[in-house]
Amino acid sequence: MVETDQIVVSLAHSPDSDDLVMWWPLIGVRGADGSPIEGDLGRPQVDTGRFRFELVARDVEELNRLVVGGEDVYDITAISCAAYPAIQDRYAVTRCGGSFGEGYGPKVVVRADSRFETLEDLRGAGARVAVPGVNTSAFMALSMAAGSFRHQAMLFSEIPAAVSNGGFDAGLLIHEAQLTFGEMGLRQIGDMGVWWEADTGMALPLGLNVVARSLDERHGRGTVKEISRILKDSVDCSIAMGEASRMYLQLNKGERTEWDDPELVDQYLAMYVSDLTVDMGSRGLGAMRAFLGRGHAEGLCADTGAIVLADDWEIER
């Protein structure tokens, strides 16, 4: 099949390193301007069949808002696990590509000289907490742990500075800031993955990837399952080709100088590209059900009912 005959499929992901690493095999190693590098690595490293993938990096809360708002802007999109109940009738979850906190997770930080010491101190109106979005799993987990608290949503990358300069009393950190906040004079008062595991004994579901069920209507029965298999191949390939994955990160780091530290990148990828990322399996599904079930019980999300998996779903004849 020549490229002009391929069906274009859009895939939106967050700009953090684990998402960038997982999907580059679908398009090949490319620079920040979108141009492929010379040689074999500049081409897709997995068989994409009748599809040609177009990747878009956007803030995960922005993606949450788009999909929760009813817009099927992207055929495949990253979302926060907490956002899934609002879109379960339109999208199916892939078993691969998810992020789980296994004894670690989003961090709650304050200034070193802050009077706040525990998550309980944040309850009520006594603290101003910067959060990376009200649809994120991090926010839902903190709401479970701390109850109601005063908060303001902002871009995840702006939160450390907002706390450091005194604009907010505390901040909820996601992505690589979970590893670098100490450099800004901040200290941790809570880890949502630690809290969740102590409370449930499970991994904390954070990010998911979902596929629009309408793809079966547009391109034939079984399309969602077909795409899910290709995505799994991409995750497997990105792990197997670690050196190329790191090259891709360096070419697309932009202003993220933290990616110049190979030890930090390796540490972050080891945290969020795990066995559960390759296939969430029954352990990941069980964690999702427990997290969303508790969220529903506490009025933080809708009832999910059954979790629809892309690997198993097909439109009815």
pLDDT at 146: 95
Query: Known catalytic residue: 296?
Result: no
Please state, as a whole number, how many other Cβ atoms lie within 10 Å of the Cβ of residue 43: 12
Question: What is the dihedral sign for C-alpha 301, 302, 305, 309?
Answer: negative
At the topology level, CATH places domain 107-200 in D-Maltodextrin-Binding Protein; domain 2 (3.40.190)
- Marked catalytic residue, from 13, 151, 175, 219: 175
The pTM (predicted TM-score) of the whole model is 0.93
Residue 223, CA atoms < 13 Å, CB-side half-sphere? 20
Pairing between β-strand 107-111 and β-strand 186-191 as defined by DSSP bridges: antiparallel
Answer yes or no: are the C-beta atoms of 94 and 23 closer than 8 Å: no
CA 287/CA 293 separation, integer angstroms: 10
- Average pLDDT over every residue of 84-99: 96
pLDDT at 172: 97
Cβ contacts of 63 within 8 Å, gap of 6 or more? 12, 14, 74, 77, 78, 79
240 φ/ψ sector (left φ>0, alpha ψ -120 to 50, else beta)? alpha
Q: Residue 297's pLDDT band (boundaries 50, 70, 90)?
A: very high
Class at the top of the CATH hierarchy for domain 3-99+205-297: alpha beta
CA 59/CA 34 separation, integer angstroms: 19
Q: Residue 16's pLDDT band (boundaries 50, 70, 90)?
A: confident
Q: Where in the chain is the domain with CATH 3.40.190.10?
A: 3-99+205-297, 107-200
Which residue type, as a one-letter code, is found at position 148?
S
pLDDT at 259: 67
pLDDT at 17: 80
